[in-house]
Copies of this chain bind each other. A is one copy, B any other.
Amino acid sequence: MESVWKAVADDSRREILMLLRKRKMTPSEMTEHFHFTAPALSSHLRILKSADLVTEEKLGKNRYYSLNEKKSLEVVNFFEKMWGYNLNSLKEYLENKERKKGHE
Known: A77-B97, A91-B91, A94-B91. A83 touches B21 (CB 8 A): yes
Are A98 and B94 in touch, CB under 8 angstroms?
no
Copies of this chain present:
2
**Does A38 belong to the interface (CB within 8 Å)?**
no
Interface residue SS majority, chain A? helix
Interface residues in A, total, Cβ within 8 A: 33
Are A87 and B94 in touch, CB under 8 angstroms?
yes
The contact of A72 among B5, B10, B67, B85, by CB within 8 Å, is B85
**Does A40 belong to the interface (CB within 8 Å)?**
no
**Does A80 belong to the interface (CB within 8 Å)?**
yes
Residues 57-104 (chain A) with a chain B CB within 8 angstroms: 67, 69, 72-73, 75-77, 79-80, 82-85, 87, 89-91, 93-95, 97-98
